[in-house]
Amino acid sequence: MIHSNLTMSGDAFLQAVRRTYPTPPTQPMEVTERVEIMCHRFSDHLQGKERLTHMGYFCLTAVEKVGAPHREGARSRAAIALQIDLEVLDALGDLTETGDLHEARKVVLPPMKPGKRKHVQRPLTGVEKRWIQEVVKSLIRRVAEFEANPTGSLTPITMADFPTI
């Protein structure tokens, strides 16, 4: 009977190659402090330094500050100012309050009264995670466009621009 062992070590390098480059932006953009911070938080998430739900909610809050800093109705005002369907921002808010014990931003306890529970303590699905990432990328881009030209016209962002969740 013959036995053999094979041990290997080393580094691997993976490079993604695209057949085409993404379409360049048509709107002027400005990298303000708000845009830079949102990009930094997104980058930290991609590097595993920040949880998806925390990063997503932070970016949602940064967007809301565009509409009406420190005021009630900030999300609705931001949706109007940035031409983002309120349904997109509300869905992002809901998803960032979802997650299991490792990824959740908030603790969700059973409701005191039947029928009052809005959020559920459960893991996000892969589709939901990708949706949050795609929405945040769009929000960063939109804020950069808005910061460059606050009175300019913007193409509306709607739920149809993202995968179905």
**Residue 98 pLDDT grade (very low, low, confident, very high; cuts 50, 70, 90):** confident
Other CB atoms closer than 10 Å to residue 134's CB: what's the count? 13
Residue 26's pLDDT band (cuts 50, 70, 90): confident
Tokens of residue 28, six digits: 């002027």
Q: What share of the chain is helix, strand, coil (3-state, %, to 5)?
A: 45, 0, 55
Share of the chain above pLDDT 70, in %: 79
Mean pLDDT, rounded, for 146-159: 94
The confidence score (pLDDT) of residue 19 equals 79
> Is the pTM value of this prediction over 0.75?
yes
- Give the mean pLDDT of the chain: 86
